Amino acid sequence: MNSTANPETAHSPVKTPASAPLSAQSKNRWFALAVLLVGAFLPPLDYFIVNLALPSIRSGVHATEAQLQLIISAYASAYAVFLITGGRLGDLFGRKRMFMAGLGGFVAASALCGFAPSGDVLIAGRILQGSTAAVMAPQVLATIRNVFSTAEQTRVMGMYGSVFGLASVVGQLGGGALITWHPFGFGWQSIFLINVPIGIAALIGAAKFVPENQPAERTRLDLVGVALLSLVLGLVIYPLTRGRELGWPAWTFACFALSVPALILFIAVEGRLARNGGDPLVDLRLFRNTAFVTGLWMTFLFYSVSVFFLTFGIYLQSGLGMSPLASGIAIMPFAFGFLIGPMLSAALSKRVGDRVLNIGFGLMAIGFALVVAEVHGGYGLGPVLKIGLAFAGVGQGFVLPSLVRIVLAEVDPAQAGLAAGLVTSTLQIGAAVGVAAIGGVFFAVLGHSASAARYGVAFATGIAIVVVLLIVCMFLATLMNRRRVRL
């Protein structure tokens, strides 16, 4: 099954056998899981929660429109760009150490954001938040991969997937509540400062409960690879996150063009380093594994669903005139489905195996098709739309933990951090491309119209494209499952 495994690799990343659970060494691994899930919870929370606070931030620090856009895009860009490097750092220097370093940095960055006196300082804090989250997040998946047995991982990954649904619920409702209630006299600042006590408690828990996957032999970080990969991803992700708002100026296309030779140079440098016995940032042998590559393509296409959050919010607030809080409540069927789905995925996986992916993609496609039919028919927020949102949320709850678990199962545990970084980074790139490409279709269909009907048509058109991509994902899941059975 694992074409990249190499039992004779010179630099084993862990002192304990990476393929064995650490139950003998860590009786408290379930407490460790709780701590790790906090680390998985914070990065998506800080993506969802900021959207509702933008009007308050604008008035609080007198931010310009461009600064408001950067408060969102700078975080997403930094997070996506450094995820692969963050995963590799855990492989090289220890996953507990890097988890705690990333979490500590995230707490400090959150405090900087909370006390930011200006828009520029807030943007700097958001870049630091995204960068440190990228160091923290891959260690969660890599540690789960090494600490829990294969039999336990289905259940554990269900819990992991639920975290993202919980983050969407808390981000939408909790963010609105914090801004409305002004705890301790803080307004928009509270959405960042809430991370500080949570993060400190998680740091204490990590120090006590999380086992270290310590490298048996210290290796050097491929700094040239880090620089080149960051350049490649930056040339793609930054213009994707900024281009639409700016009307796709010429520099965005120049960045896309320059990313191609930068990628070629990165591949050449990494291949040469590997041939010379060095330790490349990205082990290119991973991409010889057809199932792993197929999983990455599925991951990329699947997370185009992120455009739903953008277009649905615009449809509700600009098209139907709903308030931000009412819009947050309207998305709750999806959010609660996303919360419940991962909890059910473990039991479903025991019955149907990896076909849980096909079921999840199918539910998402059916759910979003119902949403398209309801909105395109001019029925607004009727019961069919709510049922469709619930179906789509449950389907996403099935897919996310199962997809991550199945894709990571294809790699050598020694490369778990790198693979986790690749998967998580692919999710972020898929989200950015989906928002840019499908969001572009949404705004093109909308044109200059301000009518509710036109907003509905634009929203339905964008989500119809998502339905098609989900059907493609079902096909790819079938191909990957057939290959796994043959192996």
**CATH number of the domain bearing residue 456:** 1.20.1250.20
Q: What is the pLDDT of residue 22?
A: 47
Q: What is the pLDDT of residue 347?
A: 85
Is 11 inside a domain boundary? no
Is 30 inside a domain boundary? yes
Is 246 inside a domain boundary? yes
Percent of the chain with pLDDT over 90: 34
Per-residue pLDDT, averaged over 33-42, amounts to 94
Residues 201 and 234 in one domain: no
Residues 56 and 204 in one domain: yes
Residue 40: pLDDT over 50: yes
> Are 438 and 465 a contacting pair, CB within 8 Å?
yes
Residue 17 and residue 24: Cα distance in Å, rounded?
A: 12
Work out how many domains the chain is built from and give that number. Answer: 3
Q: What is the pLDDT of residue 4?
A: 34
Closest CA to 426 of 279, 292, 248, 263: 292
Residues 263 and 291 in one domain: no
Per-residue pLDDT, averaged over 179-205, amounts to 88
| Burial grade of 355 (CB within 10 A; 0-12, 13-18, 19 or more) | middle
Q: What is the pLDDT of residue 219?
A: 66
Residue 241: pLDDT over 60: yes
Residues 125 and 238 in one domain: no
Per-residue pLDDT, averaged over 297-323, amounts to 85
* Rounded alpha-carbon distances, angstroms, from residue 50 to 125, 137, 168, 204: 13, 19, 11, 26
Is 130 inside a domain boundary? yes
Collapsed DSSP state (helix, strand, coil) of residue 196 = helix
Lowest-pLDDT range of 210-214, 264-268, 463-467: 210-214
Closest CA to 137 of 89, 174, 181, 92: 89
Residues 275 and 294 in one domain: no
In tens, the pLDDT along 50-64 reads 876 777 888 888 887
Residues 342 and 426 in one domain: yes
Per-residue pLDDT, averaged over 19-36, amounts to 68
Q: What is the pLDDT of residue 12?
A: 35
Per-residue pLDDT, averaged over 34-48, amounts to 91
Last residue of a domain, one of 156, 191, 211: 211
Residues 265 and 319 in one domain: no
Please give the residue range of the domain that contains residue 333.
286-487
Q: What is the pLDDT of residue 52?
A: 67
Per-residue pLDDT, averaged over 284-296, amounts to 85
* Rounded alpha-carbon distances, angstroms, from residue 412 to 3, 24, 337, 417: 9, 21, 33, 10
Last residue of a domain, one of 258, 280, 302: 280
Closest CA to 233 of 437, 466, 415, 433: 433
28: phi then psi, degrees, rounded to nearest 5: -105, 30
Residues 207 and 240 in one domain: no
* Per-chain mean pLDDT for the chain: 83
Per-residue pLDDT, averaged over 222-234, amounts to 88
Give 18's pLDDT tier (boundaries 50, 70, 90).
very low
Is 17 inside a domain boundary? no
Residues 206 and 242 in one domain: no
Is 446 inside a domain boundary? yes
Closest CA to 302 of 419, 460, 470: 470
Q: What is the pLDDT of residue 27?
A: 64
In tens, the pLDDT along 428-477 reads 888 878 877 888 888 888 887 778 888 899 999 999 999 999 999 999 99
Residue 224 and residue 339: Cα distance in Å, rounded?
A: 40
Residue 21: pLDDT over 50: no
> Are 333 and 374 a contacting pair, CB within 8 Å?
no
Indicate the residue type of 472.
V
Instruction: Give Cα 334 distance to the centre of its chain.
Output: 17
Residues 56 and 187 in one domain: yes
| H or E segment and range at residue 66 | helix 65-93
| H or E segment and range at residue 326 | helix 324-330
Is 148 inside a domain boundary? yes
Give 7's pLDDT tier (boundaries 50, 70, 90).
very low
Per-residue pLDDT, averaged over 29-36, amounts to 91
Given its phi and psi angles, is residue 8 left (phi above 0), alpha (psi -120 to 50 degrees) or beta? alpha
Residue 485: pLDDT over 80: no
Is 486 inside a domain boundary? yes
In tens, the pLDDT along 355-404 reads 899 999 999 999 999 999 999 877 778 899 999 999 999 999 899 888 88
Q: What is the pLDDT of residue 244?
A: 73
In tens, the pLDDT along 126-174 reads 999 999 999 999 999 889 888 888 788 878 888 887 887 788 778 877 7
Per-residue pLDDT, averaged over 62-72, amounts to 79
Residues 355 and 244 in one domain: no
Last residue of a domain, one of 184, 211, 238: 211
Q: What is the pLDDT of residue 14?
A: 37
Residue 158 and residue 346: Cα distance in Å, rounded?
A: 6
19 contact partners, CB below 8 Å, separation of at least 6: 413
Q: What is the pLDDT of residue 460?
A: 93
In tens, the pLDDT along 311-364 reads 887 888 788 888 767 777 888 899 889 888 888 888 888 888 888 999 999 999
Residue 304 and residue 290: Cα distance in Å, rounded?
A: 22
Indicate the residue type of 276.
N
Residues 405 and 331 in one domain: yes
